[in-house]
Amino acid sequence: MKTGRRIGAGAVAVVTALAVGAPAASAAQAAPAAAASVHVSATLSTTLGWPVLRQGTNAQWPLVTVRSLQYLLDAHGATLAVDGLFGPRTNGAVVAFQRAHGLSADGVVGAATWKVLIVTVRVGSRGDAVRAVQDQANFRNLKNGRSLTVDGVFGPRTRAWVVGFQQAMQTMVPGFLVDGIVGPQTWAALVSEALSG
């Protein structure tokens, strides 16, 4: 696990790239994000990007990243135990997901797989994708491991945490969308360990 870093350089690059490349982004939204991207690339030398996970030890990433993968696979119909370990069952679920979505079925979860795997969640959403968000919140808050109940219900407390996370990201990435919705930009920041300490 990485320590001592408040936000990864790659996380900044990923969220700005998503802001620029997202189909819903307007020219007004894209300009500040593009400027931030230029500034980030000029001042930060390491690039993290979407996590790359595969069967076996993923020591570069905390267990919460693999748990998010497992929750998201379950949101798409898998029935995995969410334990943070990328074993044969998780690998099988990844390969099945990749095949079903026309991706390279190699069991490696990189940018292409993450982009198809993520599920946009907001107030009123229920299920495993919401559990992934709540688990990410608890990982960052370090309050005896829990600050939100991981119940899969996107209610007011989960929304408040998401808005706070997005506001914190916005201080690091001008143009980061603060809307209380966990879409591609927020997912990228969550699974790439942004603001994780």
Closest-CA residue to 78 (of 64, 65, 90): 90
Q: Does residue 84 fall inside a structural domain?
A: yes
139-180 confidence digits (pLDDT tens):
988 755 568 999 999 999 999 999 999 999 999 899 999 999
Number of domains, the chain: 1
The verdict on residue 2 lying in a domain is no
State the DSSP string of 112-178: HHHHHH---B-TT-BSHHHHHHHHHHHHHH-STT-SS--SSB--HHHHHHHHHHHHHHHHHSTT---
| Each residue's pLDDT tens digit, 92-124 | 999 999 999 999 999 999 999 999 999 999 999
Phi, psi of 53 (to 5 degrees): -115, 150
Does the residue 57 lie in any domain?
Answer: yes
The answer, yes or no, to whether residue 78 has pLDDT greater than 70, is yes
**Separation of alpha carbons 102 and 98, rounded Å:** 6
Residue 197, pLDDT score:
67
pLDDT tens profile 24-63 = 333 334 344 444 433 332 222 223 479 999 999 988 899 9
In this prediction, residue 112 carries a pLDDT of 97
Return the CATH number at 179.
Answer: 1.10.101.10
| First-residue to last-residue Cα distance in the chain | 10
Average pLDDT value for residue range 3-13: 39
Domain assignment present for residue 3? The answer is: no
- Mean pLDDT for the chain overall: 80
pLDDT at 85: 96
Smallest Cα–Cα separation from 40: which of 197, 196, 194?
Answer: 194
Evaluate whether residue 28 is within a structural domain.
yes
Count of residues in the chain: 197
